[in-house]
Structure 1
Amino acid sequence: MIERVIEWTRTRSAPLMHVVIAIVFLMSTLLGALVLRTQMVQNSFEAAEVKQHISTLTQDIEDDQAKLDQLVASLPDKADEMGMVSQGGSVTIDLNGYQQSGESGAQ
């Protein structure tokens, strides 16, 4: 069978080397396409896994935020239970006349 192919290539205008080069090129192209496809499938699975992990972490953050909001909302009740008194108003400090130490009074 191989002898027939070799004899056929000798009788044609394309020498055997051209046929071999073409076959090697086609096989390497096929192998390259297979490797790329395999890599793409692997990357797809990894991306799906990462998305699932992100979704789980997002849910955990939302749960923790809900717990934090609940604790913040219960702070006034806990303070009342401990006998703490809420502050009547807000306190402000006026720093308009403030001078840093080391500055002289003359400006």
Structure 2
Amino acid sequence: MAALPRMHSSAAPAGRKMKAEAEEHTSKRPQLRVVDSAKSRKFLVSQGLDQLWKWTKTRTTPMVYLVVAVVFLVASLLGSLMLRTQMIQDSFEATQVQRNITTLTQDVEDDQAKLDQLEASLPQRAEDMKMIPATNSVTIDLQGYKPSQDGTKK
């Protein structure tokens, strides 16, 4: 078999060809740069708002939907905040009422203990004052009592 002749795609030597290809690859590469986050956010927000405005400007129905959605979201947010505030106020009031109930219950228990102590010491105090128990006690039944017509007692 006969040997095929060697073919070259370019007349440049092999070393130069590789350099030229490397330069092409580096020029195609994206360049890195420092991006200021505040400026990029502002740009992205303004670009997004511009696109939204263009989209709603061409059609009237999407603008109505957008307004309804924004109103609904704002109303939901305000309703949620108001409900949460009311729940916190009610919780605070319930805690205050519970504290008052606890305080009053303790006061009643203290007063009941003091009354029981006084009732227990009553016989001893009566003896200290040289009182004697009554032997013949008299009871009056007023069930059949009728006042006189002229208002005087008989």
Of the three residues 109, 112, 132, the one matched with 1:85 is 132
Percent identity for Structure 1 against Structure 2:
55
Q: Distance in 2 between matches of 1:66 and 1:92?
A: 31
Shift of the 17–87 alpha-carbon distance from structure 1 to 2, 3 Å rule, reads same
- Corresponding residue number in structure 1 for 2:50: 3
Moved more, 15-24 or 4-13: 4-13
Q: Which runs of 5+ in 2 are unaligned?
A: 1-47
Say whether residues 1:16 and 2:48 are aligned partners.
no
Q: 1:98 to 1:34 in 2, by over 3 A?
A: closer
Rate the CA distance shift 1:6–1:89 in 2: closer, same or farther, 3 A.
Answer: farther
Identify the residue that residue 63 of structure 1 maps to in structure 2: 110
Q: Distance in 2 between matches of 1:49 and 1:98?
A: 53
Closer/same/farther in 2, CA of residues 44 and 95 from structure 1, 3 Å limit? closer
Q: Could you report, residue by residue, the CA deviation over 1:6-60 in whole angstroms, capped at 9, with x for unpaired residues?
A: 2112445723133112202211111111111121022112201210221111011
Residue among 41, 53, 63 paired with 2:88: 41
The RMSD of aligned alpha carbons is 2.3
Instruction: Report the number of matched residues.
Output: 103
| Rg larger in structure | 2
**How many Å separate the matches in 2 of 1:21 and 1:51?**
44
TM-score (norm 2): 0.57
Q: Which runs of 5+ in 1 are unaligned?
A: none
> 1-side partners of 2:144 and 2:111: how far apart?
45
- Higher RCO, 1 or 2 (CA under 8 Å, sep at least 6)? 1
How many Å separate the matches in 2 of 1:84 and 1:64? 27
Distance 2:143 2:65 in 1: 92
